């Protein structure tokens, strides 16, 4: 039996060629949405490292939070976040909360 190539699969299958998640939004899969509480973030980078969609951005700048100054902060690009919760699970300070999507 011969199997179809990735490019021959019907629409609806996940196309796996490099760069495809830039074109296909995975936000529609989400029932829970991660929200970063910046005041609890210690800038450990683990959420950025573990996100399977690469959808946590490391933003450079000067950010004053609760009397401290940081040169980086983390932001979620929601268009490509599928709501898996890995970031919240890995965050050592529980700075990421999974909240229900608005209906």
| Binding stretches for ligand SF4 (CB under 6 A) | 34, 36, 41-47, 51, 53, 55-56, 74, 76, 81-87, 90-91, 93, 95-96
Task: Identify which of residues 9 and 65 has a Cβ nearer to ligand SF4 in the complex.
Answer: 65
Strands 56-65, 68-76: pairing is antiparallel
CB atoms within 10 A of CB 79: 14
- Among 56, 52, 50, smallest CA distance to 36 is for 56
Which residue lies nearer to ligand SF4 by CB, 16 or 45? 45
Q: How far is the CB of 11 from ligand SF4 (least distance, A)?
A: 23
Shortest distance, CB of residue 8 to ligand SF4, whole angstroms?
28
CB-wise, 44 or 63, nearer to ligand SF4? 44
- The C-alpha atoms of residue 33 and residue 97 are separated, in whole angstroms, by 8
Least Cβ distance, residue 52 to ligand SF4 (angstroms): 6
Q: Do 8 and 59 form a contact (C-beta atoms < 8 A)?
A: no
């Amino acid at each position: 039996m011969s199997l179809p190539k990735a490019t021959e699969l019907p629409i609806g299958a996940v196309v796996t060629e490099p760069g495809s998640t830039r074109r296909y939004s995975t936000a529609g899969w989400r029932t829970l949405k991660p929200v970063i509480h910046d005041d609890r973030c210690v800038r450990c980078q683990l959420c950025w490292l573990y996100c399977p969609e690469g959808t946590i951005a490391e933003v450079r700048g000067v950010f004053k939070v609760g009397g401290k100054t940081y040169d980086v902060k983390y932001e979620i690009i929601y268009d490509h976040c599928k709501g898996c919760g890995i970031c919240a699970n890995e965050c050592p300070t529980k700075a990421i909360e999974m909240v229900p999507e608005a209906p």
